[in-house]
Structure 1
């Protein structure tokens, strides 16, 4: 009889502890790390948890590893990103290739993009290789950015390079304009000495002329995200 009463008391105690773990009003405030799965207006979702962002947590992004904290009444706050090593990894994205004329078509060419974001700072690379069935389209070329650049009135200038298969390697500039914040364009030198640079286009791939099969365009960019 005594043993049965003791077992019952242990079961009740265990049930109370279990219930307390699941009830913030019992256990009090709590915090933990989480991964952002969606971004709302002033909030972030971490799986089934919706947390309101502190003002110091700016430019949230899906995939951020953050610290969230819960009050005794169950409300969640997103404090900001952690400094974990996983946040230093580059992520892949698809940098759509367009023009201000007729858009090119990649065909059997390759186009890859990689970027890394820390707060509002975005750094990345784009690599294009022209294939035998690539349609170069017409007009000046642009490549989509992984995020919208901040319209702060500043022009972001990065580096670019065009490699003509079996030919020369030409240096250029990657330019993000404050009036065109979703894409990056490339400027290349011309064949004439002491001449101004001009936009990379279907007709003007480099001082060597138009882009040809196996030609490569390499772009490096850095800018402040909106």
Structure 2
């Protein structure tokens, strides 16, 4: 009888221990603060995000440009409050993040095709630095209207429709002639355009188009550098 009672007591103690361990793993008040990776499902207007597993977390001020699908670091306090620190680093020692810009034309019909594009951005708070290099390929089409290259984040709104962020730009007619100029981003848009003061035809400066500042074709090159505020 004593042996049976001792066995039952041991089993009961083990069960209580297992329950305590489980509670400690799942309850912040027991285990203390903790952190883990999560995926953003929704970005909310009140400054929070909701993860794919249903956790609402307050975004830090430094986590700007939040979007669904971001992998982020979240942390929980000992009383159960969650905070989202933002995206972890992309790896390596560089602060620059590579991305692939879109290529389009205001009148439609443009497509990058087999163009070579090399682009990256550096984000500090809501300040975004962008570098884009573009070489047209044999299957690149230029459509109609102004040529546009996509930026990584939508630009913040500006107080007047005639205001814009300005940067540097240069394009080359397959190395035969070079056309320095500028690029600009209008508030609330997600692309930049190039403008050159000199064109092959000597026409009035305008945004780069399929035939401005020269007739674009295979091997033609464009480069941009600009800093702007993100939305």
* TM-score for the superposition, normalised by structure 1: 0.76
- Counterpart check, 1:215 vs 2:224: no
Q: 1:69 aligns with which of 62, 66, 76?
A: 76
Aligned pairs for 1:14-163 within 5 A:
14-24=17-27, 27=30, 30-41=33-44, 42=46, 43-53=48-58, 56=61, 59-62=64-67, 63=70, 65-70=72-77, 72=79, 74=80, 76-81=81-86, 86=91, 88-93=95-100, 95-153=101-159, 154-163=163-172
* TM-score for the superposition, normalised by structure 2: 0.75
Distance 1:44 1:199, change over 3 A: same
Q: Is the 8 A contact 1:20 1:26 kept in 2?
A: no
Deviations 1:27-60 (A, max 9, x none): 1653314344333213323442422325746535
Give distance in 1, aligned partners of 2:96 and 2:42: 20
Deviations 1:60-111 (A, max 9, x none): 5243643422453x4x422534886749350423x22222334323333334
- Alpha-carbon distance, 1:202 to partner: 0.8
- Alpha-carbon distance, 1:176 to partner: 0.6
- Counterpart check, 1:199 vs 2:207: yes
Give distance in 1, aligned partners of 2:199 and 2:65: 45
Distance 1:130 1:85, change over 3 A: closer
Task: Name stretches of at least 5 consecutive residues in structure 1 with no aligned partner.
Answer: none
Alignment match, 2:11: 8
CA RMSD for the aligned pairs?
A: 3.4
Alignment match, 1:172: 181
Give distance in 1, aligned partners of 2:222 and 2:155: 22
Distance 1:124 1:38, change over 3 A: farther
Matched residues, number: 218
Deviations 1:149-169 (A, max 9, x none): 000335211222212224133
Q: Is the 8 A contact 2:129 2:226 kept in 1?
A: yes
Task: Name stretches of at least 5 consecutive residues in structure 2 with no aligned partner.
Answer: none
Give distance in 2, aligned partners of 1:223 and 1:38: 27
Give distance in 1, aligned partners of 2:34 and 2:54: 12
